[in-house]
Structure 1
Amino acid sequence: MAGLAWGGVVMRRAELATARKAAGYTQESLAAALNVDRSTVIRWEAGDYAPLPYLRPKLARLLRHTPEQLRALIDGDPVSDRDTLSPDVEAACTWLDERLNWKPGTSARRVTARLPKTRRELPTRQARRDRVSRTDVVAALRAYYGSDPDYSLYTARFGGQALETSILTRPDWLDLHIPLNETTDALALAPTTSEPTADPVPAAALERLAEVEAAGVRLTNEQTYRLLDVDIRASAIRGTVGVAPFLEYALTLDLLENELLDALADGQPVKTGSLPLRDKYLPSLASAVDLSSRLCAGGVLALSAIARSADTYGTADFALLVQERSHLVVNAARQLTVIPKGFHQPMTDVHADTSLRNSLLRELEEELFGRTELDNTVSAPRAALPMHLARLSKPMRSLLTTDGLRVECTGFGINLVSGNYEFGFLLTISNMDFWSQFGGHIEANWEARRLKIYTSSNTDFMTCPESMQSWNNEGFFAFTSGLDRLRSSKSIPSDD
């Protein structure tokens, strides 16, 4: 009956379940990782039993908590706001000390000193940022950067409306239908590692880490690819990439979005000289497109379209998968976007993993088919070939062994919010049996607050103002360019 005791115990164990889900584990997978029965995890979360002492260090690591934080979840011991940082933030502080040539421990002390104020102010700060619309962001970026005859902001025409985004692109980067294969998927690793770096601004970097700690956002320092040049011609994607530590991006260019949102929320004019971080890292359209001169991280995002039969749903259609992002994802809480969506980064082989298709398939396995061991925010890679056929989920194995998956690049652009490169894709599963056979395997991971399914036969939901403003720019770019391609290739009726 311990699980029905006074509210404190129930709340603590509810928070334990929340921490498990945030770490990307089901009750079954956490039990397997700890070599205990699922019933044991159920009893922990119900408040019937507590984890034995010998299990707690590993449980803390799996949940990405400090021992003190885990003790607070299980036993109710208070966590000191002054003395404890999460392992992710502690590691980031160590990196920042090295990057700025500070004495060890300096960043941790300064982040800890900021925490009380950040914890008080962050909820209001986030609420104000949430009220800034996507349209306001796009208008501000247009005012800051002006125009260029060779480039334009991607504009989707949907339901009779023209909807501008923050994705800087040009005609030969749009309306693509490049199937990804060994010939067309041709990004290569640069032979040198002397690419320019981005220098952190100390105060801004420290405040970002304080916000990460206060909000419980996940932050790791795995390698990520940086785009050095790109050539999309002759129906192929060619170019070179280097690698950079993710923290170099997270503590520099990734700060530009919140700086812009805070300025707009405060009613400040947006122009050159008014945004110090943007003035430093991304001051002009020329700097945005000169990829080799700056840190340009980015990723892959795809509209997933799965065929469904008329026998089950009354009319044959495609299920269009959309996610609402979790508050645990940096700069993305409650925004709508496509799924899968992720950074282009290596898993274990920095040369072979430059393939965009590899990143897409990895994200599909992780975000939709439950492969938590592919998530480098949960654990470091341990398998030499994590995407080997023998390790794939049943749905993915079926798709790849039956040629049931078509992957096409639909567009490319530079997102002026943070200077990221964005490759938009359409993932099409045309086998009518897949949905009935494997639909039950589809479950979004911790990055999604919820998963939504729309039908290709009725996209009226897109025309309401609330929906339009809920999308992030890159997600809207991938969704609309993917939907255009799906219509043209599968004869889906147009709304226009």
Structure 2
Amino acid sequence: MEVVDQWTGQLAGALQKALRLTNEGFAGELGTAVRTVAKWNAEPELVPVPEIQRALDTLLCRAPEDARARFARIAATESMSPDEAVRSRRLLTSVGGAPSSEAERRLADDRNITAALQWLDKQTGGSPGRSRKAVAERLASIDPCELQDRGRRRILISREQIANALTEYYATGLGEHQPYSTQVDGQSVATSVLVRKQWLDLGLDLAEGDRLRLDDDPEAVVSVVVDELGADAATQRLAETLITNARIINSPLYRLTGIDVSHEAIEGTVGVTDFVSYALTMDLLEAELIDALAEGRPMVPGSLPLRDRYLPDVNTVVNVDRRLCAGGALALFAVARPGSRARRGTPDYLLLIQERSGHVLNSARRLAVIPKAFHEPLVDYADDTQLAATLEREMEEELFGRDDVDSTEGGLVDADPMHPTRLSEPMRWLYDRAGGSHWRMECTGFGLNLVSGNFEFASLIVIEDEEWWTRYGGRIRANWESHGLRRYSTLDRSVLKSLTLDPAWSNEGLFALTHGLRRLADIDDQRVNLPTIE
């Protein structure tokens, strides 16, 4: 059964008609007010809040088969926008209990799924086509409603629960490495990001201090052996990816092969792997952990079989040259604004925070800073090792609307997508003023995330020239990876304290947020009124 990407008042009204419910009955099923249902009927373009979006998903999934068929017909025949019409036509062909035609099409034709299946055949020593058959059989056995229910159970697991569980699992052998924690106005907050003291509060200018280079040693290639347990988990991941229509693109990724971080520089080497190798091995550990927490299982070696296999101890975590260690850069984005009447004429910084989309494969529905990206080459494997290259590309993609630098859209055909002549206006303004006092890009901290073993370069992007916001503030728009975009003022101390204590944060997102706020206070204490972060 197809999952509706985004409910509108019109689609909600179609579901109400299909279920033959009054406004009162429909509101009761969803746990919302009658006036809210009436408003959807009056404003068909209205997008319900995330909690109601999830309730509508559940109501559709659990509806009788005849009601789902009516919903698809009503949605297809009523007046809709072009995007909604496409969604409804897909719904009309997938209201039965079997996997949707879209999932079957992708299994047959999607070159990225094919690459994943071929990789799995190779790593397991299976005959060609064996993994495709296994995924097809798994598709037929998956209950979409159970999949949605499990997704909702996962959302209820907080960042703190994840952090505490991993601290318990890796309690033996932490030594000089410790999970990063902080205090916000005296209230403790824990994360799963493993750090050393010299990796924190860096304030490194990425134009000067980033010395990551490409590792051309052929011995740097890591061979991943996938046993029966790993193959079963990878098969399940691929089947669920098809059912939920999540994106999986087999693009190249950098993997860390050596690292030495200090307050003077980031020294290190990266090799090249591919996304499929990561998605079907290390990235499986997050779901295994969260499901175990939801089921109340103990967090000790032996209770998490995939983690026992791929990331069993702290020694494995920190020796990045002996395992597949993918990861990325994520940055707190802060823009100087002139004073306004609402802020009593006091200038501030605007902060942007995202809620991750349900269509991303990791940190789905979690809060995160933006931009956030895997560290990966765009076109030049040597030059693109610089963290600034990833962050600038992600600003273009995630904030400024350029989809031609989005690696999830397919192969890149331009020789230099980040050439000055190709840049968006907001990015070109920054490019022309690089190296001055108008803006800066810094690495604020480094850590290894115990969730999946990822490396995390926490960063800060600060635009200090108010002219930029005046010119381009209206041009910022998050892409498909974000379910929603929030904005905060650095003058709202109590609001920012509540934000940092929100349990919905991803661990790496909170790591970047708290480090970014600390550094922002050092840069300009006149525009900020922040909680104390120690």
**Which TM bucket (shorter chain)?**
0.7 to 0.9
Work out the CA distance in 2 between the residues paired with 1:48 and 1:410. Answer: 47
Contact 2:253 2:376 (8 Å CA) reproduced: yes
Give 1:448-467 correspondences, 5 Å limit.
448-464=482-498
Q: Deviations over 1:219-264 (max 9, x none)?
A: 0111100001111235111100001011111000100011011111
Work out the CA distance in 2 between the residues paired with 1:416 and 1:386. Answer: 34
How many Å apart are 1:265 and its aligned residue? 0.7
TM-score by length of 1: 0.83
> CA RMSD, aligned part only?
2.8
Aligned AA (1:359): T
Contact 1:193 1:242 (8 Å CA) reproduced: no
Contact 2:355 2:365 (8 Å CA) reproduced: yes
Whether 2:423 is the aligned partner of 1:392: answer yes
Match of 2:155 in 1: 130
Match of 2:235 in 1: 206
Whether 2:475 is the aligned partner of 1:441: answer yes
How many Å apart are 1:433 and its aligned residue? 1.3
Whether 2:515 is the aligned partner of 1:481: answer yes
Given the superposition, is the C-alpha separation of residues 50 and 396 from structure 1 closer, same or farther in structure 2, using an over 3 Å criterion? closer
How many Å apart are 1:466 and its aligned residue? 9.5
Contact 1:50 1:74 (8 Å CA) reproduced: no
Whether 2:354 is the aligned partner of 1:338: answer no
Q: Which of these residues, 172, 186, 200, is aligned with residue 198 of structure 2?
A: 172
Whether 2:411 is the aligned partner of 1:411: answer no
Secondary structure of the structure 2 residue equivalent to 1:372? coil
Work out the CA distance in 1 between the residues paired with 2:501 and 2:483. Answer: 16
Aligned AA (1:73): R
Contact 2:500 2:514 (8 Å CA) reproduced: no
Contact 2:336 2:464 (8 Å CA) reproduced: yes
Work out the CA distance in 1 between the residues paired with 2:80 and 2:203. Answer: 56
Match of 2:317 in 1: 288
Match of 1:377 in 2: 408
Whether 2:135 is the aligned partner of 1:103: answer no
Match of 1:228 in 2: 257
Given the superposition, is the C-alpha separation of residues 421 and 49 from structure 1 closer, same or farther in structure 2, using an over 3 Å criterion? closer
Aligned AA (1:154): Y
Match of 1:197 in 2: 223
Work out the CA distance in 1 between the residues paired with 2:479 and 2:519. Answer: 27
Equivalenced residue count is 443
Contact 2:179 2:195 (8 Å CA) reproduced: yes
Q: Which of these residues, 288, 300, 305, is aligned with residue 276 of structure 1?
A: 305
Contact 2:497 2:531 (8 Å CA) reproduced: no
Given the superposition, is the C-alpha separation of residues 396 and 81 from structure 1 closer, same or farther in structure 2, using an over 3 Å criterion? closer
Q: Deviations over 1:162-205 (max 9, x none)?
A: 21100000110001111011x42110111223322333311010
Q: Sequence identity, in percent?
A: 42
Work out the CA distance in 1 between the residues paired with 2:118 and 2:295. Answer: 33
Contact 1:154 1:168 (8 Å CA) reproduced: yes
Aligned AA (1:177): G
Whether 2:529 is the aligned partner of 1:493: answer yes
Q: Deviations over 1:376-421 (max 9, x none)?
A: 1112111111100000000000011023330011000000000000
Work out the CA distance in 2 between the residues paired with 1:388 and 1:258. Answer: 39
How many Å apart are 1:332 and its aligned residue? 2.1
Contact 1:190 1:241 (8 Å CA) reproduced: yes
Work out the CA distance in 1 between the residues paired with 2:507 and 2:314. Answer: 18
Work out the CA distance in 2 between the residues paired with 1:189 and 1:73. Answer: 47
Match of 1:302 in 2: 331
Aligned AA (1:85): R
Aligned AA (1:95): W
Match of 1:218 in 2: 247
Work out the CA distance in 1 between the residues paired with 2:257 and 2:476. Answer: 35
Unaligned runs of 5+ in 2: 1-9, 19-46, 48-75, 95-99
Unaligned runs of 5+ in 1: 12-17, 19-43, 52-68
Given the superposition, is the C-alpha separation of residues 318 and 46 from structure 1 closer, same or farther in structure 2, using an over 3 Å criterion? farther
Contact 1:320 1:453 (8 Å CA) reproduced: yes
How many Å apart are 1:126 and its aligned residue? 1.1
Match of 2:296 in 1: 267
Match of 1:35 in 2: none
Given the superposition, is the C-alpha separation of residues 343 and 82 from structure 1 closer, same or farther in structure 2, using an over 3 Å criterion? closer
Q: Deviations over 1:91-135 (max 9, x none)?
A: 422332233332222212211111133243211211111111211
